[in-house]
Amino acid sequence: MARLFGTDGVRGQANSELTPELALSVAAAAARVLAEHDSSHRPVAVVGRDPRASGEMLQAAVAAGLTSAGADVMQLGVLPTPAVAHLVGELGADLGVMISASHNPMPDNGIKLFAAGGHKLPDVIEDEIEAHMGAEYARPTGAGVGRMYDIADSLDRYITHLLKSSTHRLDGLRVVVDCANGAAWAAAPQAYREAGAEVIAIHAMPDGENINENCGSTHLGTLRETVLAEKADLGIAHDGDADRCLAIDAAGNDVDGDQIMAVLALAMKESGDLVDNTLVATVMSNLGLHLAMREHGVTLRTTAVGDRYVLEALREHNLSLGGEQSGHVVMPTHATTGDGLLTALRLMSRMAATDRPLADLAGVMTRLPQVLKNVKVADKAAVATSSAVSEAVAAVEAELGETGRVLLRPSGTEQLVRVMVEAPSQEVAEAAAQRLVGVVSTAV
């Protein structure tokens, strides 16, 4: 039987795969596991959501499940995922629940759980919750039933936290922010304005159905057009739950998570805040980031793909900066999870402090052309042990030398092998990738 919790909580099509009954069961089980681990007090949970329509239904189910198991619920309303994570700690809660499917389309939704302090739940606790689902338990009655409270100032609390974490006023900066019609629709424009920037907000009118619809960090076209039309200094793109940030420079060029991390790493190195002069990134980060960090004396530690692995490495080694090419950036001194608004504020603070345009700052690294191919195979395990594949990879790596990189990665859920090649030119990368695809597809 497949594990219910994926790499980012429980996710599926709302009211089909992710039903209110399932949401209630997950929440009630979570409350019972909390009570078993610490019976000294009545559990308290904070619950937030993004603005997709199904979030209203699922929030009601989650609140019912928590209170039925004896937990009190503090309802935060529509807020970014990192705001919920932060408020778990600030409000002294035992559990945080975020109802969101991040960058996924509107019909999907998800339930993400945070432990006390705002950290992601360990796998072992998720497994305990799953084991408790559906089991009979003694339901509390009378005064034992949980209560529900609305936290009216949740947005203001989060923005106060963001502004404390920003390093420089943004007066004079003109920024376009694409809120993805999502959880950042109110928080991002308000935070950037209070930091001093002139803000032009787009896709900031959620109606429950338009979240991520041709907007946000997965669709940068409108943001690019608006930056150019408004002659803005930059554009910021968030996803549906605002835990990631991508950017557009004044000339309309993309600035991805790798480039943002490069800018922030050098700023933190300069200020002495980059612990051990080390940046954490996944194996999918561009070789250009590796080369740029090496040139500037920053160690790059790599992890498997997924922000949870970046977080694990940051916590294990007490490091201060990590993230992904997709725009998830984590600064543990200020946040327990990726925070797109915090990332944007720090990026703009660097622009303001140095009086340098984003293109100039992002130019610290050159993105090498990258080609990614998904190859259907009969047996991905056989590919991993194939001598023909390893010889082909070695040959391509020898040809590229330090000017390129090869990565073969089996899919976690399908009989697929992902072939990634980076090279000095698009043509060289494409040709090398096609050679490897041919060998991988015939490996037995």
**Which residues are catalytically annotated?**
102
Beta bridge partners of 420: 372, 407
Beta bridge partners of 18: 14
Three-state DSSP state, 337 = coil
At residue 199's C-alpha, the angle toward residues 193 and 205, to 5°, is: 100
* Phi-psi label, residue 242: left if phi above 0, alpha if psi -120 to 50, beta otherwise: left
* Alpha-carbon span 113 to 218, nearest angstrom: 24
Three-state DSSP state, 84 = helix
Q: CA torsion 321→324→327→332, rounded to 10°?
A: -30
Residue 150 CB neighbour total at 10 angstroms: 10
DSSP 200-264: EEES----SS-TTTT-GGG--HHHHHHHHHHT-SEEEEE-TTS--EEEEETTS-EE-HHHHHHHH
Q: CA torsion 266→269→274→280, rounded to 10°?
A: 30
DSSP label of 18: B
DSSP 379-410: -HHHHHH-HHHHHHHHHHHHHHGGG-EEEEEE
* Phi-psi label, residue 118: left if phi above 0, alpha if psi -120 to 50, beta otherwise: left
